[in-house]
Amino acid sequence: MEKKVSPHSVAVHAGDRKRPEGDQPRWVPVTIPIHTAASFFYNDMADLDRVFSNEMPGQSYGRYGNPTSDALEELVTSLEGGAGALACATGMAAMHMAIGTALIDRRRTIVAGHLLYGATLGMLAKVFEPAGVEVVSVDFCDDAAVQAAIDRHRPGAIVMETVCNPLVRVPAVDRIGAMARAADVPLIVDNTFATPLIIRPFEHGASLVVHSLTKYLSGHGDTMGGMLVSDEANLAPLRALSRTVGFTLGPFECYLAMRGIKTFPLRMERQCANACKVAQWLATHPAVERVYFPADPKHPDAANIHRLFAPALFGGIVSFEVKGADRDGIFRMMNALRLVVPATSLGDVHSMMLYPAMASHRDIAPKHRARLGIHDNLVRLSVGIEDVQDIIADLDQALRA
């Protein structure tokens, strides 16, 4: 049996150092070059014709991709274990492409998790529903409710997150994957929070896996992008749709993302370790009312976490509620931060704090946020790779400010 290659090695090598073929020069660049050409031509027009008809691999037009984006797509495909991928301009573009691909020639109904990234909820409500797509919202941590929704609505797609934003709930993706396969429905999984280091959704029945490339994969806060990885069944429709829509990521961003991914497993391991220590410390702080973190033995999805997550890796996101704080109190606390960056993102090498009621879930009505458990005293902390004692010291002085 062929030995499975570690994600540490895949992240460093996949997509790079292609050996030349035929009469090409025999040198090999150690990293993929940035190919800025908008179009490509061949010595024989018949070759270009074969590329356009997908009879042979090759480049034709920048909207369809280029060698730099191809290398990035190969790298993330290898990490996730899919059949192919599309590098997109943003994570939301990747989610849009995933839903559009899944609904081609299928029933225009989506069963979606009720706890999703706010922009994903907004896309479903403001883009797909006005276009005639029925969206059914379900608690994906309730297996029976998910099965009932699938049976009743016979959806064309199912949309979920491996780790739900921002309350770090963990649905049973393996059981939901089995439900999707039994119903012959494409399962779309946003794996941004967990990353393929912690869980690989294709191993549990996913059809399409989405990432905000901006976050843990790139990891340095300098690249905007998204990634959509597909199984074999949905790859051809994805490619056809992408050529028409043109959400493809530019070569400079592809290069930066690929450069960042080379250290992704190392960064993620450090972030997971730091997050565990920060979560344990927060749970003892007198100014903290509640901590949300997957390593908590009392986590409501502890059985799923134990079954699905890679050993000793629980992610880098810690959400917590500040005791007695309202919006102004949260602002005072975040304004007092000196090392942790109060900015709208996650997954960077530096620690970052976000206020969901103001940012990620701003467009969700306050009463609906409250029903979801996203209270006005909740903050989301993306733990970075700094010395963990420095992170804790900064949080302590801000909470006491």
Task: For residues 300 and 279, give the distance between their C-alpha atoms in angstroms, rounded to a whole number.
Answer: 16
Alpha-carbon torsion 117, 121, 127, 131, what sign? positive
Average pLDDT in the chain: 93
The pLDDT tens digits for 349-399 are: 999 999 988 777 777 777 877 787 888 999 999 999 999 999 999 999 999
The whole-number pLDDT of residue 288 equals 97
Give CA angle at 360 (207, 81), nearest 5°. Answer: 25
Residue 291, sorted as left (phi over 0), alpha (psi -120 to 50) or beta, turns out to be beta
Q: What burial class does residue 85 get, using C-beta atoms within 10 Å of its C-beta: 0-12 exposed, 13-18 middle, 19+ buried?
A: buried
129/374: higher pLDDT: 129
Report the 10 Å Cβ neighbour count for 342: 18
Cis upstream peptide for 166 (omega within 30°): yes
| Out of 28-32, 64-68, 175-179, 273-277, least confident range | 28-32
Q: List the one residue out of 106, 172, 87 whose CA is nearest residue 138.
A: 172
Give CA angle at 95 (199, 312), nearest 5°. Answer: 15
Task: For residues 120 and 109, give the distance between their C-alpha atoms in angstroms, rounded to a whole number.
Answer: 16
- pLDDT value at 87 more than 50: yes
CATH of domain 7-261: 3.40.640.10
Domain positions in the chain: 7-261, 264-399
CA 339 to centroid of chain Cα atoms: 25
Task: For residues 240 and 230, give the distance between their C-alpha atoms in angstroms, rounded to a whole number.
Answer: 13
Structurally, what CATH architecture does the domain formed by 264-399 represent? Answer: Alpha-Beta Complex (3.90)
For residue 323, how many C-alpha atoms fall within 13 Å in the half-sphere facing its CB? 11
pLDDT band at 80, cuts 50/70/90? very high
In the DSSP assignment, the letter for residue 41 is -
Task: For residues 136 and 113, give the distance between their C-alpha atoms in angstroms, rounded to a whole number.
Answer: 8
Pairing of strands 378-382, 352-354: antiparallel
Contact between 189 and 227 (Cβ < 8 Å): no
